[in-house]
Chain A
Amino acid sequence: MADQLKGIWKDWRLHMLVFAIVALTEWIGVFSFTVGPGVVLLLPMLYAMLIGLGLFFTPVVKKKQALNAEPLIVLGVTLLIAKIGVIIGPSLPKLIEAGPALLLQEFGNLGTIFLALPIAVMLGLKRESIGMTHSVAREPNVGLIVDKYGFNSPEGRGVMAIYIFGTVFGAVFMGVISGFLATITPIHPLSFAMASGIGSGSMMAAASGSLVAAFPAFSDDIIAFAGASNLLSLSTGLYMSILIGLPLTEKMYTVLTRKKQRNAEIGKGA
């Protein structure tokens, strides 16, 4: 990180743009609307990202700004982590009490295999679906798939597709669905707080941010649980994929495609 940081503080065009985006979006504030029994919350951070993305296509943002913005995300995340740290400190006894839930919910990350893999196969995707659905496709998982199958394999293309979607729209998507799911299901906001830590700082911030906006009474507990779970996901995510996620996906893929083939044959016979 050392070399790429040189002189970025001097990119005043970039910092003034972000300053203007932040002032504008925080002034607009949280916008929420109901969909049936649920609530969709749109947080300032979500508009901030979309405005930033939109500006990239105007002459205001040049390639230099887009390049310089990258290390600032990393540095901004360090401040976010420091803030999460000082929230966790005083609630450490509570976190230890909830330790079993925190550890076990990491296995819930395998939920993607049971939900998304059948859908991918149904949509006619072949071995791409293994790369796509074995995990939530953050950096360590991309590394694993590329290492095992190669970058230009169907599995490699699959994991890259989900990685790209997550990079561009992950935070916006998680921010919208976390508030919505927490208001339409009977599941407790603290359970969703733990689920928010899926191994990406910005997705965790967006998902837990919506929960905080929807349930301000639990604000500190939500952040402490989400932050602790995100740290756990970051440190266990890769091993979870190697030991359970990927073998399970391979196995389920074989079962699902065999069944599909058989159905197709029966279809032809009739």
Chain B
Amino acid sequence: MSIQSPLRLAVDIGGTFTDTVLIEGADRVIASTKTLTTHENPADGAMEGVQRALANAGRTLSEITGFIHGTTLATNALIEKRGARVVTVTTEGFRDILEIAYERRYSQYDINLEKTDLLVSRDRSLTIRERMSAAGEVLIPFDEAAVAGLIAQIDATDAGAVAICLLHAYANPAHEQRLRALIAEARPHLAVSISSEVSPEAREFDRLCTTVANAYIQPLMARYLAAFEARFAAEGLGCPILMMTAGGGMTTIATAAHFPIRLVESGPAGGAILAARIASECGLDEVLSFDMGGTTAKLCLIDNGAPQTSRAFEIARAARFIKGSGMPVRIPVIEMIEIGAGGGSIAAVDRLGRLTVGPQSAGSEPGPAAFGRGGTKPTVSDADIVLGYIRPETFAEGQFAIDPEAAALAMRREVGDALGLDARAAADGVSRIVDENMASAGRMHAVESGKDLGPRTMIAFGGNGPLHACRVARAAGVSRILIPTNPSVGSAVGFLFAPVSFEIVRSRYSMLQTLDFAAVNRLFASMVSEALDVVRQGAAEAEVIVSRTAFMRYHGQGHEIEIALPDRDLELSDIAPLTKAFETAYARQFSRPVPGMEIEILNWSVRVATRADAIQPVATTPAVRALAARETRPVTCDITGARREAAFVMRDALAPGDRLAGPALIAEPQTTTFVGTDFDAEVDARGNLVLTRKGA
């Protein structure tokens, strides 16, 4: 084995588990571990996982040539309110941007709802006299004389971080920059975030929220990143650490410390990157990635090998995952729908006799009833145990015992008795409800994007993804599923396929027909150079791709469509093809364009990313041979609800070309794939399991 061959590590620190993957060459996983996350000091758990993975592969930290890290620490700090004390500074007359927000209740019938806690109370909302116009012209000059008083006010709040968001600063950041300089000079210990850097987009509420969130976690994340880097350097790591971002790219520790808000949801982004990579390898143009863990499920649409992206994300939605109940941040993200459906989701019967599942979760503590850790409520995992899909003898590498009787008892007591069903029928109902919930969320997500789920291949991973894939696919009208290798550490594997990248979105309102070319070209020039600077810090030499985009819509319409622009200055002759491109994209989503309607643009974006390694498509189709499983296990049929025998095999005993008819259970150390009664499974040349609906 050549020592020049790249050897890379990915560490994904999640809420419950820390996943570590060691890859040799482009894509050969040579070790993976799942260790418990150490919340007190997450680097401890990461170090343990890394040492174990290296030991399993007989390697050392000094041999590592690439290290990618993703963490939920930023997200958790926001959800658990463990960040710095933040003061905001906004334009005089606009003290209440956070509290006024969009003037809206997120739940129509709930008269007792409380508005989202946006981290900064009114007594820490300060203002400064100044004003820019929408075009970035100074309407009221920056009041330098007021700054001393402002700093005294900041001192009085005992704040550790300052979020500055002045009106129209995305159009002209001069006042924000001046204020930051004056505060930094007077109070160098304060972490200062300015909106024109963190999120230079129009809509003062969203921009302020993003700036507040960034300021809130900045001191914490800067400390964490420095300590993490030092810890691994001390143990012999010789290469730089790159951080995974929500947008599905990697960035340097320095950039991450400056814009920690971009680190939220990086774990799920890794999963989408993996699914996108597999989609390209297998030549799948339309994919639905399905990542189901212990508390939530994440679904992402992937077209032509690229995950769908968005510029907005909501942190810490209220218990029911209601849209609008969280803190909105505007950063480039991989667009996903996340719902409260996982192995730990709790089943109950409400006062109307309706069977409900989630979003409350038993988590890992107290956990499902069958885990014997104090949980007494029936969960989705308990249902899977009662139905025979989770086998006690192979679960979690046999690390802890499962009590099927406890699962059945909980299912009967909390669900069955109220509905007049036995434990199996109750478990069957729980499974159908939760799978329908996930499928509905996926369909809704597709509708919101003007897309369809039917023709897609589902790529399923996460601890519970392979187990529920067939049932969710059936409810969603999807007939083909792919389960990659190492599915339970899918996100971490995905990190290793991410490019070094940086994306900037900036607002400038224009009508397409009367575009000010000089101004837009200047805007793009500054955005490209800024993004390129960031990428060069993480990949000095690599070839890069620059993607320019305009977000267009019909004048008066709310929905923007992303239109790719050429990577050069725009000119008059571009208007016609861009109009055409918009109308084509519009017609694809809404079945017909609206000729004669004017097109407007508010936001422009640039993404600079290193070019991905060439992907080797799956070359050969292995010869298929039907496998007659030697062992079977009793399960409840997922179609009829009747008892029957399912084939039972270990995944590592399968070879490319092997074919199994459902129902079947394919077990591996950290998860099990359940092949539904109406599906067949086949192993492809890369070892992926491909499940196809019979007759489809």
Task: Judge: A and B partners, yes or no.
Answer: no
B residues whose Cβ falls under 8 Å from a Cβ of A: none
A residues whose Cβ falls under 8 Å from a Cβ of B: none
